[in-house]
Structure 1
Amino acid sequence: MSELWLIKAQQYLLQNKGTVSLKKLERFTGYSERHIERTFENHIGLSPKRYNTIIRLHHFLGLMKNTTKNTTMTSLSYEAGYTDQSHLIKDFKNIIGLTPGQYLTTKNKLAVNFIELH
């Protein structure tokens, strides 16, 4: 069964670079939190929160890649939608396995940008 609303929800999360709360996703889709969570788990294999976090980190990686050396990690974390740098570092380490600083100094990057953002 095709879940058209799920495709639209994914696009919504991508367009908003992973900064959409579950409440906003409920309002956008018209479905309950539980239904959204079940559908994401069944069709994508991730919770909407984890999916959202991956999108946000992907956006952050793009910002890191296209920034000057004078830009601080704090300003990049704000630009990526984090309220502070510690939340970014926690998510980054949880998903990628390294801190952003460790990631920058790694020659063979462990995280591959796999979501194309337009």
Structure 2
Amino acid sequence: MSNAHQQIQNLAETVRLIDADPNQGVATAAAALGLSYSSLYRLFRNLVGLSPKRYAGVMRYYRLVGALLADAPAGGLAQLAAIQGYFDQAHASRDFRRYTGIGQAEFRRHLNGIAKLMNTL
């Protein structure tokens, strides 16, 4: 197997491991693949353009937004954040604002406004 093929396989397995558990550390993923932390970090950064940790954060945020769009559970935002792998609601709120530029409550208001507009058409 060529080196390039092996790198792609390692990358795919890293993505699978991170997607399965976004709170898993890079060192844990590297050990599972038999790579050093620095080798995995370099490989991921070179092929994806993000560090593995940043990728995990983006994917956790992506799942949070998907859950917000689908409807929050009865327990509210704190429970939703925990389900998506955040340690607390404040961490989820910081990520949300970092990636969208607005808070979750404002996002929901915009979403509700769009839904009302769609129902009147």
TM-score (norm 2): 0.76
Pick one of 108, 111, 118 that aligns with 1:104: 108
Question: Which secondary structure does the structure 1 equivalent of 2:24 belong to?
Answer: coil
Report Cα offsets for 1:8-41 as digits up to 9, x if no partner: 111221223x222223212222212211211111
The answer to whether the aligner puts 1:86 opposite 2:90 as a matched pair is yes
Displacement of 1:94: 1.9
The number of aligned residues is 108
Q: Which runs of 5+ in 2 are unaligned?
A: 115-121
CA shift digits 1:25-59 (9 cap, x unpaired): 12222212211211111100001111000111111
Q: Percent of aligned positions with the same letter in both sequences?
A: 22
CA distance in 1, matches of 2:103, 2:37: 31
Q: Deviations over 1:68-109 (max 9, x none)?
A: 574411110111111111111112222232222222223599
Equivalent residues in 2 for 1:14-29, closer than 5 Å: 14-16=19-21, 18-29=22-33
Candidates 54, 78, 95, aligned match of 1:74 = 78
CA RMSD of aligned residues (A): 2.2
The structure whose Rg is larger is 2
**Partner Cα distance (2:91, 2:105) in 1:** 14
Question: Which ranges of 4 or more aligned residues in structure 1 deviate by more than 6 Å?
Answer: none
- Aligned pair in 2 of structure 1 residues 7, 106: CA closer, same or farther (>3 Å)? same
- Structure with bigger RCO (C-alpha 8 Å, 6+ apart): 1
Q: Distance in 2 between matches of 1:68 and 1:43?
A: 35
Q: 2: CA distance between counterparts of 1:68 and 1:93?
A: 18
Deviation at 1:61, TM superposition (A): 1.6
TM-score (normalised: structure 1): 0.77
Q: Structure 1 unaligned runs (5+)?
A: 110-118
